[in-house]
Amino acid sequence: MTEQQRPRIGVLAIQGDYSAHAEALRESGAEPVEVRKPEQLAGLDGLILPGGESTTMLKFLEKRHFFDRLVEFSASKPVFGTCAGAILLAREVRNPPQRSLAALDAVVERNAYGRQIDSSIVTAETELPGGPLEMVFIRAPRIVDTGADVEILARRDGSPSLIKQGMVMAATFHPELSHDRRVHRLFVETVAAATKN
C-alpha cells in the first residue's frame, strides 16, 4: 500500500500496551495515531481500545465528554477492543457491572478465569485462514453471550475469544503480544473496506 492508502487508525493511549498495538498496526499496513484527547478522534478511519484496566480507562474517559465521543465514534467507524478494550465495547459487563460503550452485542464477565490461571497462552483453532492462532490471555474477561449478528472467529475452552460484528471487533486476548499479525490485518482490512464506502 502507498502512504496515501494506509488507513489512519487511532490507538487509545491512556494506559496499557498501546505502543505494541501501534507497531502491530504499522506492520499490518496502517498508520497508527496515539489518541489521548477526544479531539484527536477527528479524521481517524478506525480505533483500537487496548488492554489495561477497564475501570481506570473508564474513569479517564468520563472526563471531558470523551466517553460520549467514543459512543458516537464506535457507532459510525470500525473499532477493535482487546481485553479491557473488549470490556469497554460490550453491551453488558458483569463481575461487577460497569458502564460500557455498548457498541457490540456481547455480554462480558471480567476477570473470569480466577487467580491461578489469570495469565496463559493458548493456541486454538480459528476461522481466520492460516491455521491455529496463538492467544495471550492476561486477567482475561470471558464473553458469556453474543447476539445473532456476532461472528465467532476463535474460542477459548468453548467461550468466544475473538468476535466480529460488522465493523466492530473484540478479542479477550492480546494479539499485539504475538508475532502473528492475522488479527490486526483483519481489522486493517475492515477499516479499509469501511473507508471505501
Which chain residues interact with ligand GLN by CB under 6 A?
51-54, 83-84, 87, 110-111, 138-139, 141
Q: Which residue(s) pair with 42 in the sheet?
A: none
What distance in Å separates the CA atoms of residue 84 and residue 110, rounded to the nearest whole number? 9
CB of 114 to ligand GLN, least distance (A): 12
Residue that is written with C-alpha cell 455480554 in the block: 107
Cβ distance to ligand GLN smaller for residue 71 or 112: 112
Q: Which residue(s) pair with 162 in the sheet?
A: 154, 171
CB of 110 to ligand GLN, least distance (A): 4
Strand, coil or helix: what is 157? Answer: coil
Cβ distance to ligand GLN smaller for residue 16 or 78: 16
- Do residues 146 and 152 lie in contact, with contact meaning Cβ atoms separated by under 8 Å? yes
Residue closest to 45 by CA, chosen among 36, 26, 32: 32
CB of 139 to ligand GLN, least distance (A): 4
Is 176 annotated in the active site?
yes
The pairing of strands 151-156 and 142-146 is unpaired
Catalytic residue among 21, 109, 174, 184: 174
CB of 1 to ligand GLN, least distance (A): 30
Catalytic residue among 176, 179, 184, 189: 176
Cβ distance to ligand GLN smaller for residue 28 or 54: 54
Cβ distance to ligand GLN smaller for residue 54 or 126: 54
Is 174 annotated in the active site?
yes
Cβ distance to ligand GLN smaller for residue 100 or 190: 100
Catalytic residue among 21, 83, 109, 184: 83
CB of 138 to ligand GLN, least distance (A): 4
Cβ-defined contacts of 189-196 (< 8 Å, 24+) = 190/46, 190/78, 190/164, 191/7, 191/9, 191/30, 191/45, 191/46, 191/78, 192/5, 192/7, 192/45, 194/45, 194/46, 194/77, 194/78, 194/167, 195/7, 195/45
Residues tagged active-site: 83, 174, 176
